[in-house]
Structure 1
């Protein structure tokens, strides 16, 4: 059923005259008459009767009027659900405890007036496709990994450099160190199950190994962060990298150590990606919040891959 025809019917019913309804809708009286005639043909009934003072609803018109008004209300609600600013801002983060999630929590605390819908897409190709299609408004990723240029309709800005820390158990050879240099890590086994070949974090660690000669092992199934912490706590020969903004909780008996890495400090280059021309006002607010929250970050003495977009 054509909504403009239904809207015209309601306008005539409320005005009582075709000409007055035409003036309200900004069309000619002839256009109003044609729309009403088409609606009557579609329904198979007469909706109006002529009177000396204009037009009055027939019995069928009176029966149809409340349903016509509800159709228009439903149409307005449907449009409002996707109108910029009337639906939640949808943002993709990689996991629930990472730096990007922390940034989104801070944004939500500062801007509770903006509805948020946070999703987690593992694959960068899926995330970029979702941004381009409008399924999500933005995604946090490390770009642009080698051989993965961004599409022309996608913009990106580097928003956070997250320093890596070494996580060890109490029996590890470096457990008592206040800090360790990258050179001191050479020869130690750094275990990181769950690195996905071809992912942006996989490319980051590949370049880290190539640059500094580290030993990073991604063997074995990834049973999640709890199992990783258990293994590191119980295995003196293993350590792992953790992002400095990753929130972790472990039993007190684990005796785990988080040790800063220096000379240089490897930092993971988080960026925000969005589609050019996305009109959602919450996206502009998020970009402004991130710019203010990460302004003035010190980059001296840090390392990132050559392919990371500049600050």
Structure 2
């Protein structure tokens, strides 16, 4: 169905004259008449009865009018859903409790006028495909992992260096420490069942192991952070790493400890990725916000993999 013809029909119904409808739509009266005639042929009914005063809706025209208005409303909503600047900014944060989610919450508080869609995509290949197809506007990732350079049409900026912390139960040998040098962790069992081979965080921890001689175990099923916290609280021999900005909640009876790791402090390099041709007007605002307000930009006394994208 020709939406221009439907729009002309609604304008003529509201005005009561083809001439006024044509003026409103900035077309000639003859063009308005042709559009409505074509619509009547398409529907197989007469929509107007011509009178000396103008045009009055026929019974069929009266029946069609509310549906015509709805057609135009649906068409406008469809256009607005994809029109740049009219749809929400879509950003992948990987996980709900991670640092990227916190960054986006801060951005939303600073710019409540910008509508957001927050998504969670697991692996970087899925995120890159979504950025390139326009499904999402941006993603938070650690780049560039070994053997995985970014495509030329993808840009990135490093926005947050998140310190790692050691998480232990109350009976762990290091539970009473105010901080722990990373060299002291050699020989301790660090359990991280959420590490998945092929992900950028797996590459990060592989390099951390190689650099400092750590023992990180990724064995066993990953039942999520709540189950991990239960196990760490109950098992004195195990500890785990958590980002300092990872939001965690556990029962007070767990007695868990979050201990800063030092000399050097391993930091996880979060970057924002986007397509260089993405025209969404909120994207530059997000980039500026992240690069000017995010904490954790420090170099002295920290460690990142050699492959991490520079600031």
Taking structure 1 as the reference length, the TM-score comes to: 0.88
Corresponding residue for 2:180?
180
Give the deviation of 1:100 after TM superposition: 1.1
Q: Show structure 1 runs of 5+ residues with no match.
A: none
Which sits farther off after the overlay, 25-34 or 154-163? 25-34
Corresponding position: 1:119 with 2:124: no
Corresponding position: 1:221 with 2:221: yes
Corresponding residue for 2:137?
137
Map of 1:133-172 to 2, 5 A cutoff? 133-172=133-172
Residues 46 and 256 (structure 1), Cα distance of their counterparts in 2 relative to 1, 3 Å cut: closer
Residues 244 and 46 (structure 1), Cα distance of their counterparts in 2 relative to 1, 3 Å cut: same
Residues 172 and 47 (structure 1), Cα distance of their counterparts in 2 relative to 1, 3 Å cut: closer
Give the deviation of 1:45 after TM superposition: 2.1
Residues 49 and 175 (structure 1), Cα distance of their counterparts in 2 relative to 1, 3 Å cut: closer
SS in 1 for 2:132: helix
CA distance in 1, matches of 2:240, 2:55: 80
CA distance in 2, matches of 1:12, 1:250: 65
Map of 1:1-311 to 2, 5 A cutoff? 1-52=1-52, 54-294=54-294, 297-311=297-311
Which sits farther off after the overlay, 115-124 or 301-310? 115-124
Which sits farther off after the overlay, 57-66 or 1-10? 57-66
Q: How many residues align?
A: 311
Residues 192 and 54 (structure 1), Cα distance of their counterparts in 2 relative to 1, 3 Å cut: same
Q: Show structure 2 runs of 5+ residues with no match.
A: none
Which sits farther off after the overlay, 53-62 or 167-176? 53-62
C-alpha contact 2:144 2:150 (8 A) present in aligned 1: yes
Which sits farther off after the overlay, 210-219 or 273-282? 273-282
C-alpha contact 2:160 2:295 (8 A) present in aligned 1: no
- Residues 172-222 of structure 1: per-residue CA shift (max 9 Å, x gap): 333333322222222222111120000110111111112222211111111
Alpha-carbon RMSD across the aligned residues, in angstroms, is 2.5
Taking structure 2 as the reference length, the TM-score comes to: 0.88
CA distance in 1, matches of 2:128, 2:4: 37
Give the deviation of 1:157 after TM superposition: 1.3
Which sits farther off after the overlay, 142-151 or 28-37? 28-37
C-alpha contact 2:162 2:296 (8 A) present in aligned 1: no
Give the deviation of 1:50 after TM superposition: 4.3
C-alpha contact 2:88 2:117 (8 A) present in aligned 1: yes
SS in 2 for 1:45: coil
C-alpha contact 2:156 2:273 (8 A) present in aligned 1: yes
C-alpha contact 2:161 2:296 (8 A) present in aligned 1: no
CA distance in 2, matches of 1:297, 1:44: 69
Give the deviation of 1:293 after TM superposition: 1.5
CA distance in 1, matches of 2:102, 2:204: 21
C-alpha contact 2:172 2:237 (8 A) present in aligned 1: yes
